[in-house]
Amino acid sequence: MSSTPTNTQADDAREPGQDPMLNINALGTDGGISNAPHDPTSSPQPAQSADPSASDAGAARRRYRRVWGSQSRSPWRAPQLDRSFIPVFLRNFLVWRKLAIPSLVGNIAEPLIWLVAFGYGMGALVGSITIDGTAVPYLLFLASGSICMSAMNAASFEALYSAFSRMHVQKTWDGIMNAPISLDNVVLAEMLWATFKALFTSTAIMGVMLALKISTSTHLFLAWPVLLLTGITFSCLALVFNALAKGYDFFTYYFTLFLTPMMFLSGVFFPLTQLPPWIAAIAEALPLANAVALVRPLFMDQWPTQWWLHVGVLLAYAVGAFWLALALTRKRFGM
């Protein structure tokens, strides 16, 4: 959990409108306010040992409260968003741009291995799968589901490990909040950045699928908005666990207990009709299952049935998870 300031007398005793940095000599060695004039001949007092990063983080958060303080101190208050999230997004992009090629290889390698191993290997044994009376090659069936799974994984990894590093380990969020950028906009920028990574990865995988002529559907590019919404949904869900995490090990629970079961129960590798009815009913409410239900018909050159219902489920997950993630992050930062 982020460090909290150990001494706030300087902010409490400061007159309204006065910046504490304008009168540095008035600060005592213990962090409090000293009214006595500074004596250059006096012996310096030994400074207390403190973590500089924790001190900087505490100063950033006190400055944040002065600038962005709200009449409502409830962490569940409505999001306060503006265009200041754009520089945060661009900052992440500039850092990532130096490692774009290795990042791309890492993001598309695993789904392509799944596609080759199961699509061509198991596909030769399975042949085709019947969906609503239409025989579909197993390679096409798997490809339409694995691209949604790739968007889920890319968004989750970015909003968990990378966002946690910037928030907790590197204290990048605290540094950003020294500028007139609110915590709400930092969280929004992280969500959009993870969504961008998910869409980028999905686009690269779709390019490989087109090169292999796995699907030649004219509706294929309509899957982009669905993959965008899928990235938003799983970015918001991951930020909830990012706000709760004490360390990287905590994310193991999210992947083991949530993402992995959903990957196998959402129709990526086999139709939901193969499951027992009560499990299939639960699986149909999962966000990945609704994303697959939207993308797979597009790969088959068809229009998804009840598309409004699937879009509504994804939107509900996204809005609810973002609100929860924002509230938990506010509580973590004491804001």
DSSP string, 69-99: --S---TTSPP---TTHHHHHHHHHHHHHTT
Residues 29 and 171 in one domain: no
The model carries a pTM of 0.79
Question: Which value, to the nearest 10 degrees, does the dihedral of the CA atoms of residues 232, 235, 239, 240 take?
Answer: 70
Give domain status of residue 79, yes or no. no
Give domain status of residue 16, yes or no. yes
Give domain status of residue 80, yes or no. no
Rounded CA gap, 302 and 297, in Å?
Answer: 5
End-to-end CA distance of the chain: 14
Residues 200 and 112 in one domain: yes
Q: Is residue 205 predicted with pLDDT exceeding 80?
A: yes
List C-alpha distances in Å: 236 to 49, 54, 142, 153, 209. 38, 27, 26, 13, 28
- The predicted pLDDT at position 84 comes to 96
Residues 247 and 152 in one domain: yes
Give domain status of residue 197, yes or no. yes
Residues with Cβ within 8 Å of 207's Cβ and at least 6 positions away in sequence, in order, are: none
Instruction: Quote the tokens at residue 5.
Output: 């300031």
Condensed to tens digits (0 to 9), the pLDDT of residues 15-27 reads 344 444 334 343 3
- The total number of structural domains in the chain stands at 2
Q: Which residue has the tokens 């969280």?
A: 187
Nearest of 70, 62, 45 to residue 8 by alpha carbon = 62
Residues 94 and 43 in one domain: no
- The predicted pLDDT at position 131 comes to 87
Give domain status of residue 62, yes or no. yes
Burial of 256 (0-12, 13-18, 19+ CB in 10 A): exposed
Q: How would you classify the pairing of strands 134-137 and 128-131?
A: antiparallel
- The predicted pLDDT at position 52 comes to 56
Give domain status of residue 4, yes or no. no
Residues 54 and 130 in one domain: no
125: left (phi over 0), alpha (psi -120 to 50) or beta: alpha
Instruction: Quote the tokens at residue 319.
Output: 């809005």
Give domain status of residue 76, yes or no. no
Residues 47 and 168 in one domain: no
Q: Which domain holds residue 213?
A: 85-333
Give domain status of residue 74, yes or no. no
Residues with Cβ within 8 Å of 156's Cβ and at least 6 positions away in sequence, in order, are: 194, 234, 235, 237, 238, 254, 255, 259
Condensed to tens digits (0 to 9), the pLDDT of residues 215-274 reads 889 899 999 999 999 999 999 999 999 999 999 999 999 999 999 999 999 999 999 999
> Are the beta carbons of 149 and 263 closer than 8 angstroms?
yes
Residues with Cβ within 8 Å of 217's Cβ and at least 6 positions away in sequence, in order, are: 298, 299, 300, 301
Average pLDDT over residues 94-110: 84
Residues 50 and 95 in one domain: no
Residues 98 and 50 in one domain: no
| Confidence band for 56, pLDDT divided at 50, 70 and 90 | low
Residues 29 and 112 in one domain: no
The last residue of a domain, from among 68, 96, 111: 68
Residues 56 and 129 in one domain: no
- The predicted pLDDT at position 48 comes to 47
Residues 140 and 209 in one domain: yes
In the 8-state DSSP scheme, what is residue 33? B
Largest Cα–Cα distance of the chain, in whole Å? 92
Residues 35 and 106 in one domain: no
> Are the beta carbons of 194 and 230 closer than 8 angstroms?
no
> Are the beta carbons of 287 and 233 closer than 8 angstroms?
yes
Condensed to tens digits (0 to 9), the pLDDT of residues 133-147 reads 888 999 999 999 999
